Amino acid sequence: MHAVVVKVSIKDAEGAQKALEEQVVPRVSQAPGFVAGYWTRADDRSNGQAMIIFESEDAARAAADQLRANVPDPVTLESAEIREVVASA
């Protein structure tokens, strides 16, 4: 398995939450090879991180490309890294 680790800066917390629920999560969860996704944000709501797990490196790379191309306006993409999942519980 491989993960896409995403970091974003949040410009508008309410708008970002709406875009996450209505656009990002539905699109990502339908991506080929999707296993699970976890989206988090800091207490001050100014930045967020996500870890989205895929069955393969190819699926993770394809999803990362889609994420980079479809960043909703209330956030700025800081990074999207592909990492191998080496353990889980």
For 18-66, what is each residue's pLDDT tens digit?
A: 999 999 999 999 999 999 999 999 999 899 999 999 999 999 999 999 9
Q: How confident is the model at residue 72 (pLDDT cuts 50, 70, 90)?
A: very high
What local confidence, expressed as pLDDT, does residue 9 receive?
A: 97
How many beta carbons lie within 10 A of that of residue 14, not counting itself? 10
Q: Could you report the per-residue pLDDT of 32-44, keeping only the tens digit for each? A: 999 999 999 999 9
What does the block give as tokens for 86? 């080496």
Distances (CA, A) of 32 to 19, 20, 41: 21, 19, 25
Instruction: Tokens 């656009």: give the residue.
Output: 23
Q: The pTM is what?
A: 0.93
What local confidence, expressed as pLDDT, does residue 8 receive?
A: 97
Where are the alpha helices (H) located in 1-89, listed in sequence order? 13-19, 25-29, 57-69
Give dist(CA 18, CA 2) in Å, integer: 27
